[in-house]
Structure 1
Amino acid sequence: MRIKLLLLLIVLEDYMLPCFSKQLFGIDCPGCGLQRSVAFLIRGDFVEAFKMYPAIYTLIPLALILITNRFITIKYYNNLVIALSISSVLLILTNYILKLLHLH
């Protein structure tokens, strides 16, 4: 199982998409760091994943809830989606502003 995760990680790192915004304008976009954060999660480096892209920990549950609700009904689905969406947006914007100000 560990070997499969390592192979997946190697493949992910070899095929990460470059940031078009960063290439054109020289500044990060609000999504910069998401791919690397996923790679850190696969590696098991949860602190580095958070440092790279803090919203990863709200986006994953949000995605799981959205997908799961297609198959089974989740109680309080709307409340969960709203809470996780707002949290994700706030984390993404805060992280982006800190990157722009070079405080992060």
Structure 2
Amino acid sequence: MSIVVDDSWMLPCFTKQMIGMDCPGCGIQRSISLLLQGKVIDSFFMYPALLPAIFLLGFLIFDMFVNIKYGEKIKLWGTIIVTGTILTSYIIKLSFI
């Protein structure tokens, strides 16, 4: 059984409309839509930083309620990984355009 997700909620990219160039966030809405449809691999290839960002967000919420011994280091490295993934995938995307 396949879940059909309505993509009418997606907003156009303001940066792409104004200067005709993708922004570092381009693809995240389609990636979320693919993830909601259960297409995890397609979602990852659409926007690689989404999955690490979801895990980081989940950890941040969990850390608000539970005191974790190395919580600050985990948050720092999680932020570095998410930011690095966004920048790396954006640079790769720009090099193939």
Same-fold status (TM-score > 0.5): yes
* Cα deviation code 1:51-98 (max 9, x no counterpart): 110011210011011112222223321111111111111111111111
Say which SS state the counterpart of residue 44 (structure 1) adopts: coil
Separation in 1 of the partners of 2:35 and 2:67?
28
Which residue does the alignment assign to 1:16?
A: 10
Taking only the aligned residue pairs, the percentage that are identical comes to 41
2:31 to 20, 37, 41: 37
Task: State the aligned residue count.
Answer: 97
Say which SS state the counterpart of residue 34 (structure 2) adopts: helix
Supply the RMSD in Å over aligned alpha carbons. 1.8
Which residue does the alignment assign to 1:74?
A: 68
Give the TM-score, by structure 1 length: 0.83
Which residue does the alignment assign to 1:26?
A: 20
1:87 to 81, 84, 87: 81
1:58 to 41, 52, 63: 52
Separation in 2 of the partners of 1:55 and 1:38?
11
Structure 2 stretches lacking a partner, 5+ long:
none
Give the TM-score, by structure 2 length: 0.89
Structure 1 stretches lacking a partner, 5+ long:
none
Separation in 2 of the partners of 1:81 and 1:44?
27
